[in-house]
Structure 1
């Protein structure tokens, strides 16, 4: 798969935002712990659902 500019930006933003949330969670655990859990849950859910939809499309194209 060829990386486009948008894909690269999306990956960089995901890494930066995750790093910022980790930093805030370490520095202020009482305040950001629930926020970190919610954000990680949303990101993981998005990536897994995206991968499942890609697999479904690939299977439809190959006829499996």
Structure 2
């Protein structure tokens, strides 16, 4: 499967966990896990929130 997002990579670079991101977004950690494995994708509004939480540009979360 083609990688669609880089959430897992950016979390590791920022030394953050899936559990941390889930708690910040108020969602189930299994949802973040699915995003990190690219088995499902967050909608654009959630990606914007993630980019702000991780202090990265939205472009950095998406494969180019």
Answer 1 or 2: which has greater helix percent: 1
User: TM-score normalised by the shorter chain: which range applies?
Assistant: under 0.3
- With CA pairs under 8 Å and 6+ residues apart, which has the higher RCO, 1 or 2? 2
Point out the structure with max Rg over C-alpha: 1
**What TM-score, normalized to structure 1?**
0.25
